[in-house]
Structure 1
């Protein structure tokens, strides 16, 4: 697949649902080589969210919804960080020093923002706008991520986690739907906190007041086709039911735990 800062998955915009996958791919433009890293580092979570591209594409097909996939490795620049976030371009990630990011001149930082980060977010904006226009209502936005089974040497007990800030509309039924399976351990703002200033959900959902949730699935559970199919089968009917709720399609401000929005 030719390099692109984003990849679009077609779907029925009138359904009022948008899927996102910030860290879907580990691609780099040819000019960056491997950022000075051994190729094995691109098999790790530091380069992308393992299993997420296939899971998002399968969910998009099952739900008939459009999706926007990040087309570049998070090692180049992280689309799920604000432009002012110090972790936007990592120099060190989970023990790996990234030579191609050391040093990081201001000109190079601006280039990565303009050529990769901003085009991805522009594609998200355009997709949300197209879905709003086609459906005549505010869309529900679901972002798909994955997390490692261990943090350093500590095992993570969760099979999945739902991350969020202050808008509970999609989160409450999503947690309930997953927890209906007694075999699952589902984290509420685990293994990460969903309140992150200027990240993807903040920028595209919290500020305009769109119902949303970020779904994290443990990477070992979606590393193979069987697991991907299993989790798509599990998530699709839950998301279908949530999307059918009219409350998900009203723009409404809930604010953020990170501080005021828009000067309010």
Structure 2
């Protein structure tokens, strides 16, 4: 595989698996794609809803790919909407398969039974996590950086002021506080485990980083800042600056 080679599957894509950096960049909510074998590729909600944050993390995949180039590191992302099944939830999490999200009913999920959930787990969720596990285990000093985005405001909620946020578990603070400090030194309004907590039992970081003792950070970017290619490239370059030498500075 060439350094910038891309692989793809119904459940995931990867880029640059042979890149030499110890980082792995992940993007759990990279796309709003609905596979054709699920209700004909249509969840029954309006295209405008499929284009917003309830279906995927707007702009996150582009940031992840650009950041992977800057850091010369592998990148892996999901290739299915989180409304199909959410790869950033544990298999027993009640929000794994959402029937209502931010005021929008998901018709194709309303009657999804245990067998349908099992089918989506087998064909999408597990192959994606198997890929993260494989790339993570490819070197013993692997560190993981998860890229997500958040909406400026949920319906009926106050606006969110942060440009970026760093989420983490209080059980592992080896990297996050240092990264927050570096972000704030850049003059960015930076959330410290805001707008939500960075630890959810069974989520991707719990599964591939915390459980394995791997250094990790989860970075959220406000999605209006990365809605287009230019914004994605700009913020990837900015993040590469604060991540450069981060592991060494933390003694990891």
Q: TM-score, normalised by structure 1?
A: 0.88
Give the number of equivalent residue pairs. Answer: 242
Contact (CA 8 Å) 2:8, 2:14: kept in 1 or not? Answer: no
The answer to whether the 8 Å contact 1:3/1:28 transfers is: no
**SS class of match (1:235):** helix
How many angstroms apart in 2 are the aligned matches of 1:201 and 1:16? 16
Find the aligned partners of 2:86 and 2:23 in 1 and give their Cα distance.
24
Q: 5+ unaligned residues in a row in structure 2: which ranges?
A: 1-6
2: CA distance, partners of 1:30 / 1:151: 29
Aligned counterparts of 2:101 and 2:124: Cα–Cα separation in 1: 20
Question: Which 10-residue stretch deviates more, 55-64 or 236-245?
Answer: 236-245
What's the secondary structure of 2:245's corresponding residue? helix
| Secondary structure, counterpart of 1:156 in structure 2 | coil
Instruction: Note if 1:227 corresponds to 2:231.
Output: yes
1:204-240 CA-to-partner distances (Å, cap 9, x unmatched) read 0111111111100000011122221221111002212
Number of the residue aligned with 1:28: 34
Task: Name 2:62's counterpart in structure 1.
Answer: 54
2:20 & 2:69 partners in 1: Cα distance?
A: 15
Residue aligned with 1:69, SS: strand
Q: In the alignment, is residue 177 of structure 1 matched against residue 177 of structure 2?
A: no
Secondary structure, counterpart of 1:107 in structure 2: helix
Task: Give matches, 1:37-76, under 5 Å.
Answer: 37-76=45-84
In 2: Cα distance, 1:246 partner to 1:158 partner: 24
Q: Is the 8 A contact 2:19 2:73 kept in 1?
A: yes
RMSD: 1.6
